[in-house]
Structure 1
């Protein structure tokens, strides 16, 4: 399995083989793409705010939560540059904005007050494992020797802060919102069916009805793309090497004000580590590190508690830069060279601090 020091050395050797002019062009292409994306986002936000002020947003006379005023959903573009060997590792960043058209979905979402909502299962719940040779011997953990070795297992890693009355909400409301947020995280990043490219039903049913309508409609229109908000490996690219998924991170509790609306804002920042291998090839086991970040708003509207993911995205490494379907295509040690190379100085995938890098970024070993 790759480790940071070895991959750093190999990455630097490869970079040294690229002449300065070529490196300059690579950096320029990445910077240009990032600037263009930011200009597009700023224009969309200005148009959205103008529509809101004129009473045209959300289809409800301009009154609605901030997510209804956000327009567009742009996956960050990946710069096309000279290829480097894939095993150097990359971080592929997906950060969607939210759009909420009025699409009707027949099945109602799970109500927040529902007492018996069970969080989506850990991939371990459905895993079927062939007995290993040398039964009786404890196999080495695929997380051994990495920071993930000390992380919590599964949903236990999505620990929530203590509920308290805040932002105009009661302690009971905040507790319900925290519980639903934990369920959303669990469904987005631990549900086996979702992770292996299936329909993200476990996540969909937990969304607010309006946001859920958009989510379902997007999935129908973009069947060849991964669903927004969740982690999904491209079908046929990976199998889980263990029943365990490691999770580490934090949730910060704060408040927000948006016009006449106020409530609680949750800032999410986690690392989720998967041990996967090529289908039928346990000898190719690697660790894939996802770094989900985002914000969730909790507020009351028309007498009900709303839990609304305001921003919700994740980076993953090692993953291929060559694909644009938003699925994770893990990079194994024997993966062929890619045609799109990572950019920038290698980033530590186990660093919990949020990184503003855009596109397909070089990473240290996992």
Structure 2
């Protein structure tokens, strides 16, 4: 019999000490713990294999609590056998094996987007699907292509830049703005003009300092971009309208039990026209859809997540809205609306 087979045989013999009643008790405890898990809504379409893995992991935890003596025996047996196996190996060989074991992916690992519409969304910039360029509004196909690319870069800078998401200065977005828009935007970052309702930080998705942390660097994205011609004030060119949802998984710092999802809705318009020998881009509207599952009683421009344990003492107005809907309405900016479902 090989050394590995011998270890497996010992493990099977030790675990056989658990009687059928104790196994049923462990499985029941694991199932109850899974049912109490906050926020992650489960659907029948979840794979049975994923549920089985969760039950096994939870059962292992109960096993450790009830039978620490058995675990000690297994640990001793495995440690001794591994010592025999590695006794003839050099330190270099043993060292190269450890990182491989550590880096091995955990089977059945769930995503914080499971159970929500965002589960099927694309990840990051892959979700920013742009329409094929064509000649529009007196601009050539090449010029329209540049306008579409510029709009996409604005979306990435506003909602996918890690520095901006964590409250940093939106440098990439600033560089993408027309010089005539850049100056007031930078000024609005330092001193917002609340009388005119202009707050530069509202153009981007940024967590308020200390309000939360991202559970994963993955951002789920879904939406569309449409092209049309425009003519106004003697200008003629292409109008690029974006309508995208950006879904983030966040939690209170070091509090995985407060997991929630933020859904930022960017409805925006970028216009492009020819000014002499150069092509100009102008952000006419931006980030006009609000953020679902965020507090609506703040005015600092940052996103303040609303967690399962947050106090809900804000009066809502108007009809309830679907957090995953990209439909446009005439709701005034800053209005507090109820959500038809969890994010």
* Counterpart contact for 2:185–2:200, Cα < 8 Å: no
Distance 2:41 2:319 in 1: 13
Q: What secondary structure is seen at the aligned counterpart in 2 of 1:345?
A: coil
Change (3 A) 1:228 1:331: closer
Change (3 A) 1:261 1:220: same
Q: Of 234, 251, 256, which aligns to 1:277?
A: 251
Partner of 1:328: 303
Distance 1:223 1:236 in 2: 24
Partner of 2:338: 362
* Counterpart contact for 1:197–1:226, Cα < 8 Å: no
Partner of 1:119: none
2:204 is aligned with 1:230? yes
Partner of 1:29: none
* Counterpart contact for 1:321–1:342, Cα < 8 Å: no
Q: Of 290, 293, 302, which aligns to 2:264?
A: 290
Question: CA-atom RMSD, angstroms?
Answer: 2.3
Change (3 A) 1:352 1:3: farther
Distance 2:183 2:152 in 1: 21
The Cα of 1:223 is off from its aligned counterpart by 11
Structure with the bigger percentage of helix: 2
Distance 2:128 2:146 in 1: 15
2:233 is aligned with 1:262? no
2:191 is aligned with 1:216? no
Rg comparison, structure with higher value:
2
Pick 1 or 2: higher relative contact order, CA cutoff 8 A, min separation 6.
1
Distance 1:140 1:226 in 2: 36
The Cα of 1:336 is off from its aligned counterpart by 2.4
Partner of 1:160: 130
Q: What secondary structure is seen at the aligned counterpart in 2 of 1:325?
A: coil
Partner of 2:273: 299
Distance 1:337 1:311 in 2: 30
Change (3 A) 1:4 1:284: closer
Q: What secondary structure is seen at the aligned counterpart in 2 of 1:175?
A: helix
Distance 1:237 1:287 in 2: 14
* Counterpart contact for 1:226–1:325, Cα < 8 Å: no
Distance 1:309 1:178 in 2: 12
Partner of 2:106: 136
Distance 1:275 1:197 in 2: 16
The Cα of 1:177 is off from its aligned counterpart by 1.1
The Cα of 1:353 is off from its aligned counterpart by 1.4
Provide TM-score, normalisation by structure 1: 0.61
Change (3 A) 1:135 1:170: closer
Distance 1:320 1:199 in 2: 22
* Counterpart contact for 2:147–2:240, Cα < 8 Å: no
The Cα of 1:248 is off from its aligned counterpart by 0.3
Distance 1:148 1:183 in 2: 22
Provide TM-score, normalisation by structure 2: 0.65
Partner of 1:73: none
Distance 1:3 1:362 in 2: 20
Where do 1:74-85 residues align within 5 Å?
A: none
**Which runs of 5 or more residues in structure 2 are unaligned?**
1-37, 43-101
